[in-house]
Structure 1
Amino acid sequence: MTGLHVFDMDGTLLHGAASVELSRHLGTFDEANAIEAGWVRGEITETGFWEQMLPLWSTATESDIDEAFDNAGWIAGVREVFADIDRRGEHSIVISQSPHFFVGRLRGWGAHRTFGSLVGPHMSPDQWSLLTARHKVDITRSVLAELGVCESRCVAYGDSTSDVLLFEHLHNTVGVNCQESLRSSAAVVYDGDDIRAAYTLGRSLLEQSTTIRSESVS
């Protein structure tokens, strides 16, 4: 029986934020960290965030992004989890508000599909396509329909307010080192440094859903 595993990236698979990791590599960490902190406090709008952040990456090359990605603070076990999902004939997707040019590199680690904001240092604001919390729900529902997978066979993993809508929509949800705003919406919570442990909790939720469904059918 197939299944779908939906992962947030920043704060879930990655300690911190991709924007800060890339800026750290480019030598603009302090500026990026201040912008990120302002956005978290609600002092900077989402559009304002990118207006301030993107110029910090104006000199970035593909090699720079590769190196920043490889050296970022990933939680342990990301590749192993993607590999196990694939081995079971299930599907993994990553949905993040971070730039897709960074998120998309997780396909090289085994994620089946990746979704992120379409922004870049050389794009004008009218070309941007920002991914929102609502998009996380819509993308998940679209992939489930495309794959023919029911929601009871879907697990979401997240950490912040951007995951609340998705967690409210699904039954099988795992909060990973999550904010208080998400803990009340999560079916289970994992605190630690290894996504394999959170994934084990997710698999347990799938097993419980399968058992309940089998009992209701019988």
Structure 2
Amino acid sequence: MSASVSDAIGVVFVDIDETLVPSPGSAVYVARYLGSEAAMAEAEAAYAAGKLTNPEVAAADALDWAGRTEEEINNWLTGVPLVDGIEETVTWCREHHLVPVLATLAWQSIGSHLCRRFNFETYCGPALVTHEGRFTGAVSEDLDEYGKRDFALSYAKSLGMSRHQCAAVGDSRSDVPLFAEAGLSIAFNADRQAREAASVSVDGNDLQAVIPLLKAWFETRGN
């Protein structure tokens, strides 16, 4: 483990879509490149409304990735719109012995890109099948909002931490199960479901808006 993990006092789990990537999120942004933006936006709206599960959305989306290379998608992601303050917030977390982790239902290719780019410790997400560097259009690993919660709790446990040492930052339905377990849950630019489930809500164009909330919470806990 790196020093920032071995001496950690807590974990901060951060969502991607509509948290780090403003609405309509990374899936729709990539779909724009793939030529399927309208269909993806409709599917994402159906998920938000509870009409589709994330595996159902993922299976349909995966077909549009077929034949594309991992390199070209990664290059496209360098232009994805993002909120301000991601790097600064991750740096603050590490300086205060909090492990920053991406907990998301975005594709692992997207999580991996942002993890490397902003120095998050790790990430989760559904995965696509690849063959010789190209996506096949099939899903190799599904994930839903409960799997996202389970990933977070399992990761914290692997560091010897309880759920009470976890903070979660998110915005929507996919964050609600994790919000119910985390010691601190922050609804950031969130919808009604997430706000009602969260410990506290904050809005803005800069992720650093969550720092005072994280600071106050961990200080209250005596860490």
Q: TM-score, normalised by structure 2?
A: 0.83
> CA 1:43 to 1:146, structure 2 compared with 1: closer, same or farther past 3 Å?
closer
User: Which residue pairs with 1:115 in the alignment?
Assistant: 124
Among 54, 58, 66, the alignment partner of 1:58 is 66
Decide whether the 8 Å contact of 1:107 with 1:113 is kept in 2: yes
Contact 1:172 1:206 in 2 (8 A): no
Query: Does 1:140 find its partner at 2:149?
Result: no
Q: In the alignment, which of 35, 38, 41 is matched to residue 33 of structure 1?
A: 41
Q: Write out per-residue CA displacement over residues 36-66 of structure 1, whole angstroms, 9 at most, x where no aligned residue.
A: 2343344444343233222222242233222
Call closer, same or farther: CA 1:105–1:50 in 2, change over 3 Å.
same
Cα contact 1:154–1:206 (8 A) shared by 2: no
- The structure number with the bigger radius of gyration is 1
Contact 1:155 1:172 in 2 (8 A): yes
CA distance in 1, matches of 2:97, 2:161: 12
Which residues of 2 match residues 70-89 of structure 1 at below 5 A?
70-89=78-97
User: 1:105 and 1:178 mapped to 2: Cα distance?
Assistant: 24
Q: Hey, what's the Cα distance between the residues in 2 that align with 1:148 and 1:43? A: 37
User: Are residue 3 (structure 1) and residue 10 (structure 2) matched?
Assistant: yes
Q: Which has the higher helix share?
A: 1
Three-state SS of the structure 1 residue aligned to 2:152 is helix
Question: Counterpart amino acid of 2:164?
Answer: S
Say whether 1:175 aligns with 2:187. Answer: yes
Residues in 2 aligned to 1:143 and 1:52: alpha-carbon distance in whole angstroms? 29
Q: 1:18 maps to which residue? A: 26
Tell me the CA shift for residue 159 of structure 1.
0.7
Instruction: Mark the runs of 5 or more structure 2 residues left unpaired by the alignment.
Output: 1-7, 130-134
**Residue in 1 aligned with 2:138?**
124
Instruction: Tell me if structure 1 keeps the 8 A contact 2:105–2:148.
Output: no
Judged with a 3 Å threshold, the aligned counterparts in structure 2 of structure 1 residues 84 and 56 are, in CA distance, closer, same or farther, namely: same
Deviates more, 1:143-152 or 1:15-24: 143-152
1:68–1:183 distance in 2 versus 1, CA, 3 Å: same
**Residue 102 (1) aligns with residue 102 (2):** no
Residues 87 and 177 of structure 1, relative CA distance in 2, 3 Å threshold:
same
Shift in CA distance, 124/66, structure 1 to aligned 2, threshold 3 Å: closer
Q: Which residue in 1 is equivalent to 2:172?
A: 160
| Residues 55, 143 of structure 2: 8 Å contact kept | no
Extract unaligned runs of 5+ from structure 1: 212-218
Does the 8 Å CA contact 1:119/1:130 hold for their aligned counterparts? Answer: no
- Check 1:74–1:30 CA distance in 2 against 1; reply closer, same or farther (3 A cut): same
What is residue 98 of structure 2 aligned with on the other side?
A: 90
Q: How many residue pairs get matched?
A: 209
The answer to whether the Cα contact below 8 Å between 1:97 and 1:130 also exists between their aligned partners in 2 is no
